[in-house]
Amino acid sequence: MDPGRSHIETIIESSTHKFILFDEPTEETIPYFKDLMKKNSCINIVRCCEINYDASLFEGVKIHELCFKDGNVPPKDIIERWLEILKQAFIENGKQKTTVGIHCIAGLGRTPLLVCIALIEDGMKPLQAVEFVRSKRKNAINSPQIKFLKEYKASKKAGCKIM
């Protein structure tokens, strides 16, 4: 492991998903993350940044690309794709709680922001979601992202639930 990295992984759970939030993998940390995904029966990883590693090293894990600019909020199409990935993962797991890995570069902005959106979709109030995520992953989510989350409305398609 790279001792200079302060945030290796954080696990956050909702009623339908377990999220593993982590830093961008490096060639040195991929074996660790690969093992972590296997131990948590995780077959989906969402990548919110440009790729800087060999994704094929995560054998048997589907890597979903949802890139958007660091420090910003996701465009509507990214949010829609994120929610669709979560819905599909839940369905593919027999409508039982499923694990989804998610990372950006440091795992402190884009990654926890998308997890907050999932928590809001699952019925949590926006600031509750931010506080909950920050209680698990210190320094997560910047001020513009918090402003965005305060105004975010859960989709009505699924009765305020991801599924």
Q: Is 112 helix (H, G, I), strand (E, B) or coil?
A: helix
**Which of 60-75 are b and which e, b meaning 16 or more Cβ less than 10 Å from the residue's Cβ?**
ebeebebebeeeebbe
What's the Cα-to-Cα distance from 132 to each of 12, 118, 136, rounded to whole Å?
Answer: 9, 12, 7
Distance of CA 98 to the CA centre of its chain: 13
The C-alpha atoms of residue 17 and residue 114 are separated, in whole angstroms, by 13
Taking the C-alpha atoms of residue 12 and residue 87, their distance in angstroms, rounded to an integer, is: 17
Q: Which residues are annotated as a binding site?
A: 105-110
Catalytic residues: 70, 104
